[in-house]
Chain A
């Protein structure tokens, strides 16, 4: 979890206007979902990998780590797309070419879509997203709630990690039953602390004149039209190339 956040804050494209990264990535995502996966997916994968690793300077390992996350899901689900069951004559399992094709296209589409998401999360810190949330009509109070949650996640995660380490050191996780008990105590403790933290935060903010709104100065990156147009142009190129390829082999 920290790896993604770390790269989001430290990559070379960190200071770019978020729209310059979000819009081309969304464009690629839409192309991935709409065009036939066999031709578009490899192009999208290559494009996002180049942009993330060559462009933004995020290590390839980090990108592969993000792509590996849904792998477990794909491994569990994909074989069952390829296999078909028939209850008509008892229980009949059969591998069909149609099923294999479906499994292949779905895997490709999921991987390509995931790479678009990976590009965005590895290059754009979450706080940069918030401005766009306001724009699509999420109430200001809810956006602020999201920002507070983002901040507190890291505070609590630190505590959970420390708590887990101390429990392990005291053999709290040596057996499954102990582990369940230890985790329950850890979660209960965390919740207590979370509520105490909320109360302290409230008192501290009230002392500073909090009336239900946190005002912060956000850096305002300048939108570079050249970069945005170039990005969208490349997305268009990928789409065109994929359509040409698709005509090549039906």
Chain B
């Protein structure tokens, strides 16, 4: 759920941009150093970024008949790790604003916080946690993606609630309102995206163990299994 251009009051838009900036800057610095040391990483990241964009443009089937899009945050976090996702996610979100008119430039910061920072970190943390508890890979990937997605939506609802507190019941009431609007559409979508990511990860483990090894990003949990 991208917050549309101009939807947030200017102060909020600026504040969220300020929150996102350090994360993205650190990520850009890291990725830049990685690319300088190994030039081939640049092409790998470019291919991955373009892949993430195309995945997010794929229409997901949904039970209610309406169509919606995958966020790809869970898959990105699993494959590349959250520190790389902050930059890749920002680039993808900017392209979505400029090529698809989803989201916007003034709300880019807010969207980056929910989709390129909070979502990936939650998904990644859950995946690591679940793997440490020896949960089966499919279940861990499903849970990580689904809850990562839900964290993204909750963050978006929180951003909207902060910007538009309810006149009677304040920020909390407004949060309940926005969660209420999103829940009927986003809950089934999160489940579908979770299932979808399990299919993708299973496919990749079966047919591209080598490629997963090249990635060498923090997704060791997946890569190690692919090797064995």
Residues in A lying within 8 Å of B, measured CB to CB: 1, 4-5, 29, 32-34, 66-67, 69-70, 73-74, 76-77, 80-81, 83-88, 92, 94, 96, 98-99, 102, 106, 109-114, 116-118, 121, 126, 129, 138-139, 141-142, 144-146, 148-153, 155-157, 160, 164, 173, 176, 179-181, 183-192, 194-195, 197-199, 201-202, 205, 210-212
A190 touches B51 (CB 8 A): yes
Say whether A191 contacts B168, CB under 8 Å.
no
Task: Return the CB mask of B185-202 against A: 1 if under 8 Å, else 0.
Answer: 000000010011111101
Contact with A along B3-47 (1 / 0, CB 8 A): 111110010010000000000000011011001100110111111
Which residues of the other chain, A, contact B5 by a CB distance below 8 angstroms?
Answer: 70, 110, 113-114, 116-117
Q: Which of B4, B44, B51, B176 contacts A74 (CB 8 A)?
A: B4
A187 to chain B, nearest CB (A): 5
Contact B61 A149 (CB under 8 A): no
B63 and chain A: residue at smallest CB distance: A176
Interface residues of B in 48-104 (CB under 8 A from A): 48-51, 53-55, 57-58, 60-61, 63, 75, 87, 91-92, 95, 97-102, 104
The answer on a CB contact under 8 Å between A33 and B101 is no
Known: A1-B100, A73-B4, A85-B166. A187 touches B196 (CB 8 A): yes
Task: Write out the residue numbers on chain A whose beta carbons fall within 8 Å of the beta carbon of B203.
Answer: 184-185, 188-189
B181 cross-chain contacts in A, Cβ below 8 A:
76-77, 80
Which residues of B from 172 to 224 have beta carbons under 8 Å from A?
173, 176-178, 180-182, 192, 195-200, 202-204, 207-208, 211, 214
The 26 listed contacts between A and B (C-beta, < 8 Å) are A4-B98, A70-B4, A70-B104, A73-B1, A73-B3, A76-B181, A84-B169, A96-B167, A99-B167, A110-B5, A113-B6, A113-B106, A114-B5, A114-B101, A117-B104, A121-B99, A145-B45, A151-B50, A152-B49, A160-B54, A180-B196, A181-B199, A187-B58, A191-B200, A212-B39, A212-B42
B47→A195 contact, CB < 8 A: yes
Task: Using known A-B contacts A85-B173, A188-B199, determine if residue A141 contacts B91 with beta carbons closer than 8 Å.
Answer: no
Contacting residues, chain A, for B177 (C-beta < 8 A): 80, 83, 85
Question: Do most interface residues of chain B lie in helix, strand or loop, or is the interface mixed?
Answer: helix
Q: Are B42 and A145 in contact (CB under 8 A)?
A: yes
* Interface contact B167-A121, CB-CB below 8 Å: no
How distant is B29 from chain A, measured CB to nearest CB, in Å? 8
Contact A183 B58 (CB under 8 A): yes
